[in-house]
C-alpha cells in the first residue's frame, strides 16, 4: 500500500493505467518451504499481474516453523525402510525434523 490515505478506487484506476491488475485470493494459510519454513496465518493474499508477470503479496501473522514438514508418504517410506510401526516412524520423523534419511538411521 502506498503511504498516506489514497482512495482505493483511485489506486485501482492508476494501476489499470499502468497495466497492473490485482486480484484478492481467499486463503486460510500460506506455507513457504525451504531451508527455513514459514507459515502465514490469517493471510491477506493478493495476486498482482503486470506485463506478463505474476507475483503474490502476502500479509498476515508470520510464524517460522522448525525443520521440514513431513507427509504420509514420508512416514510410509520410513516404515518400509526401517521395518517399524507407523507410530515409530512418525516419532523418528519428528525427532529428525522431517529428514527421512536421519529418521531411518535413528531406527536402524
> Tell me: the pLDDT tens digits for 46-62?
999 998 999 999 999 99
What share of the chain in percent tops pLDDT 90?
Answer: 53
**CA 89/CA 31 separation, integer angstroms:** 24
Judged by DSSP in three states, 25 sits in strand
Q: What are phi and psi of 15, to 5 degrees?
A: -65, -40
- Domain coordinates of the chain in residue numbers? 18-65, 72-107
Are 18-65 and 72-107 in the same CATH fold?
A: no
Instruction: Give the pLDDT band of residue 108 (cuts 50, 70, 90).
Output: confident
pLDDT for 59: 95
Topology of the domain comprising 18-65: Ubiquitin Ligase Nedd4; Chain: W; (2.20.70)
pLDDT tens-digit series, residues 77-89: 999 999 999 999 9
Three cell numbers written together for 106: 535413528
Mean of the per-residue pLDDT values for the chain?
Answer: 87
The CATH number of 72-107 is 1.10.8
Amino acid at each position: 500500500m502506498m503511504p498516506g490515505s489514497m482512495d482505493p478506487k483511485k489506486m485501482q484506476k492508476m494501476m489499470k493505467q499502468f497495466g497492473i491488475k490485482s486480484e484478492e485470493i481467499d486463503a486460510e494459510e500460506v506455507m513457504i518451504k525451504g531451508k527455513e519454513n514459514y507459515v502465514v496465518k490469517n493471510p491477506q493474499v493478493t495476486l498482482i499481474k503486470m506485463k506478463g508477470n505474476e507475483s503474490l503479496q502476502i500479509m498476515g501473522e508470520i510464524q517460522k516453523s522448525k525443520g521440514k514438514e513431513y507427509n504420509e508418504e514420508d512416514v510410509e517410506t520410513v516404515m518400509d525402510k526401517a521395518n517399524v510401526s507407523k507410530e515409530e516412524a512418525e516419532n523418528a520423523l519428528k525427532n529428525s525434523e522431517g529428514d527421512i534419511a536421519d529418521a531411518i538411521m535413528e531406527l536402524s
